[in-house]
Amino acid sequence: MKEAYLDFGVETEYHEGTGELLCGPLYDLLSAKILTICPFVIQLIQDEDPTRLRASMQTRHLVMKANLLPHEFIGIKVMINSCPHLETLTFQMVDPRPVLPTDFDIEFDPETYWEYPINHRCLKKTLKVVELRNFRGGLYE
Nearest to 3 by CA among 22, 25, 28, 31: 31
Residue-level pLDDT at 101: 53
Give the mean pLDDT of the chain: 83
**Are 66 and 95 in contact, with CB atoms under 8 Å apart?**
no
pTM over 0.85: no
* Predicted local confidence at residue 105, as pLDDT: 61
Give the span between the Cα atoms of 61 and 80, in whole angstroms: 10
58: left (phi over 0), alpha (psi -120 to 50) or beta: alpha
| Phi-psi domain of 75 (left: phi exceeds 0; alpha: psi -120 through 50; beta: other) | alpha
**What are 66-79's pLDDT values in tens digits?**
988 888 888 898 99
- Beta-bridge partners for 6: 37
Q: What's the whole-number mean pLDDT along residues 45-60?
A: 84
Dihedral sign from CA coordinates of 83, 101, 114, 134: positive
How far, in Å, are 61, 80, 97 from residue 88 at the CA level? 5, 11, 24
What would the pLDDT profile of 18-48 be if each residue is shown by its tens digit?
778 888 888 999 999 999 999 888 888 877 7
Task: Indicate if the pLDDT at residue 139 is higher than 70.
Answer: no
Looking at the chain, the whole-number percentage of residues with pLDDT higher than 70 is 83
| Phi, psi (degrees; rounded to nearest 5) at 42 | -60, -40
113-136 pLDDT tens trace? 667 766 777 877 899 999 999 988
